[in-house]
Amino acid sequence: MNRYPLWKYALVVVVFAAAALYALPNLFGESPALQISGTRGAEVTALTEEQVVAALDRHGIAYHSVERDERQLMLRFSDTDAQLRAADAAREALGHDYVVALNLAPNTPAWLSALGGQPMYLGLDLRGGVHFLLQVDMEAALNQALERYAGEFRTVLREGRIRYQTINHSHGEIRILFRDAEEFARARELLRREYRNMEYSDREQDDNRIIVVRLDENEAREIQRFAIQQNITTLRNRVNELGVAEPLIQQQGTDRIVVQLPGVQDTARAKEILGATATLEFRMAVGSRDEWDEAAATGRIPVNAALYRQTDGSPVLLRRQLIITGDQVTDASSGFEQDSGRPAVFVRLDGRGARAMSETTRENIGRPMAVVFIENRPETVVDADGTARSRTRTVEEVISVATIQGHFSARFQITGVGTSEQARDLALLLRAGALAAPIEIIEERTVGPSMGQDNIDQGLRSVILGFILVLAFMAFWYRGFGMVANVALAMNLVIIVAVLSMLQATLTLPGIAGILLTVGMAVDANVLIFERIREELRNGNSPQSSIHAGYEKALSTIADANITTLIAALVLFMFGTGPIKGFAITLSIGLATSMFTAIVGTRAIVNYAWGGKRLNKLSI
């Protein structure tokens, strides 16, 4: 009685050994580091590494190690003072073509990293970093939607062979001007049938008739909801592409987004990351190069056209009508054109974008199409009284003008994008997506790593104190069996840390509170089992049968108690945000691991120590 087969003992040993291995990276800590990456078109090469190392040697700044890959250069230092001095030296040596960011890098040994071992991510309250509150320009989102609808109206009326004078939009409405009453009536009937989600009204001006179209309340609300969700997705994609680990990006209220970047102490670097997320637009070019130069020199710009500048400063005239925007791009990759070997970007669109591109390319083969890069760049200006204030400057730049070679829709390639590095950067922008509406930083703050270390120390002290008190109580109250429960509790903590590390979950202060709560709850199952064993002994049963009955009869009670708590944790995770989710995650993981250690783990130890033996009494 009370004997496990060999495979169950092996299972417990393997699980604990694996947990200990993957929890191990958390013991090595982190080092202050510099993360150096290139801006658009700049590569991190061996020459870059030589320049940085030479600059550090000139200034007498010691560093631990240098690591370089195709995306970035990482240097580790012994303290933050050396890190800050090195950042100034690196910026001076590299200039504006590279971004030098302060970061914290894990000290995990190479052999452990090769096995997939990584430490847990620490949240902003533990690790330090930067916090931004972003305001989404909802009015701009509605204006962009009206611009898209205006373009669609032109297409629908043209396909319906309905003549109109002008279509323009401003002040939240689209105005379509007609001179013929019959065309006006046909257009009104067609638009009302095709676009039921709009509000229509009629006006008369002189001898002309005007259809005024506005977004109805539900459509406007849906556009605003989509704008903020698209912005969140785009910001998350861009931050992930640029290598910032485990950012927190979530909605706050109806028109704001919170961005937290743990481990980044350089606010300028964080602004660079957010500012790099820009809007992309595809537009048809108008006229020839001579006409572009003439329009730039004289200022006379054709109706329904706008003057833009290319990356080299040369002018180009583009239609005001949008074809597609970057939010309709589902994938993009860089490569080389098959025939000529020139750098190219291969693009894939969603259904709506594919239809718009198909209509445009079918009618414009042999004509140039441009990609416009629109970036909102934060900058600091000094007023006449010497007061520094931040503002956002919008930069619109044509990054590609390519000739349409044939009819295409969902999949196509862009050539004439310059070098392979520029093609890779353009693909990165397209793949990361475009902002559905402009954003503005309205609040920023930096959380220092020293504050995070204080939080870590206090959290660790609370866990250790709670752990020791529980160990002392169990050892005093349940003697030998209490020590078995203590071993299982230690196993439980190790497994929790290992699971969080393998999932690369973010640990915050509420997460530490969840672990501490788990420490207290983990022994509940053993208390139920041990009390049941005591009761069986008092009823005169033998020690072996009491052990067996204690585990068997307490199982349903333990399952019920943990399942109800797990349901509460899942509800917290589903409806909570940020810190509440962190608490729910650690609590859920702790409940699952405590079930394993308290039932399977302790039973294995008890069976190994007391099972199959003739016993007169138990140390319980």
Total residues found in the chain within this entry:
620
The whole-number average pLDDT for the span 347-351 is 81
Handedness of CA 390, 371, 299, 313 (dihedral sign): positive
- Say if residues 133 and 121 touch (Cβ distance below 8 Å): no
Residue partners of 84: CB distance under 8 A and separation at least 6: 102
What are the Cα distances from residue 490, in Å, to 465, 486, 519? Answer: 13, 6, 9
Give the strand pairing for 72-76 and 30-38.
antiparallel
The whole-number average pLDDT for the span 310-323 is 87
Characterize 506-536 residue by residue with b for buried, 16 or more Cβ atoms within 10 angstroms of its Cβ, and e for exposed: bbbbbbbbbbbbbbebbbbbbbbbbebbbeb
- The sheet that has 329-336: what strands, in order across it? 329-336, 343-349, 411-415
Alpha-helical (H) ranges within 205-350 are 217-241, 267-275, 289-298
CA–CA separation, 438 and 136 (whole Å): 6
The whole-number average pLDDT for the span 151-161 is 84
Give the strand pairing for 173-178 and 208-215.
antiparallel
Tokens of 387: 């007061």
Mind listing the pLDDT tens digit for each residue in 220-249? 888 888 888 878 877 876 676 555 556 778
pLDDT of residue 411: 84
Torsion, Cα 477 479 483 485, to 10 degrees, reads: -50
Mind listing the pLDDT tens digit for each residue in 39-48? 655 678 888 8
Three-state DSSP class for residue 81: helix
CA–CA separation, 352 and 328 (whole Å): 7
Res. 68: pLDDT tops 80: yes
Q: State the pLDDT confidence band at 145, using cuts at 50, 70 and 90.
A: confident
The pTM assigned to this predicted structure is 0.60
Beta bridge partners of 316: 308
CA–CA separation, 369 and 365 (whole Å): 10
Beta bridge partners of 75: 34, 66
Q: Output 126 or 540, whichever has higher pLDDT.
A: 540
CA–CA separation, 198 and 215 (whole Å): 5
Mind listing the pLDDT tens digit for each residue in 356-370? 888 888 888 888 898
CA–CA separation, 216 and 196 (whole Å): 9
- Rg of the chain over Cα atoms, rounded to whole angstroms, equals 32
Give the strand pairing for 256-262 and 248-252.
antiparallel
CA–CA separation, 90 and 483 (whole Å): 55
What angle, rounded to 10 degrees, do the helices at 6-23 and 449-502 form? 150
CB count within 10 Å of CB 387 equals: 8
Q: State the pLDDT confidence band at 316, using cuts at 50, 70 and 90.
A: very high
CA–CA separation, 579 and 507 (whole Å): 9
- Say if residues 507 and 460 touch (Cβ distance below 8 Å): no
- Say if residues 528 and 556 touch (Cβ distance below 8 Å): no
pLDDT of residue 317: 92
CA–CA separation, 467 and 180 (whole Å): 84
- Say if residues 216 and 200 touch (Cβ distance below 8 Å): no
Res. 126: pLDDT tops 80: no
pLDDT of residue 20: 92
Q: Output 119 or 233, whichever has higher pLDDT.
A: 119
The whole-number average pLDDT for the span 325-343 is 78
Task: Enumerate domains of the chain plus CATH numbers.
Answer: 6-24+448-610 (1.20.1640.10), 31-106 (3.30.70.260), 139-220 (3.30.70), 278-446 (3.30.1360.200)
Closest CA to 212 of 146, 261, 266: 146
pLDDT of residue 22: 92
Res. 17: pLDDT tops 90: yes
Closest CA to 584 of 571, 603, 600: 571
- What DSSP assignment string belongs to 526-580? HHHHHHHHHHHHHTT--HHHHHHHHHHHHHHHHHHHHHHHHHHHHHHHHH--THH
One-letter amino acid for residue 20 of the chain: A
- Say if residues 544 and 615 touch (Cβ distance below 8 Å): yes
Mind listing the pLDDT tens digit for each residue in 382-419? 677 767 666 666 778 887 788 888 888 888 887 766 77
pLDDT of residue 277: 53
- What DSSP assignment string belongs to 456-504? HHHHHHHHHHHHHHHHHHHHHHHHHHHHHHHHHHHHHHHHHHHHHHHTT
- Mean pLDDT over each residue of the chain, to the nearest integer: 81
Look up residue 263 and give its DSSP letter: T
Q: Output 521 or 310, whichever has higher pLDDT.
A: 310
Residue partners of 314: CB distance under 8 A and separation at least 6: 292
- What DSSP assignment string belongs to 129-155? EEEEEEEE-HHHHHHHHHHHHHHHHHH
Res. 18: pLDDT tops 90: yes
CA–CA separation, 101 and 32 (whole Å): 11
- Say if residues 592 and 585 touch (Cβ distance below 8 Å): no
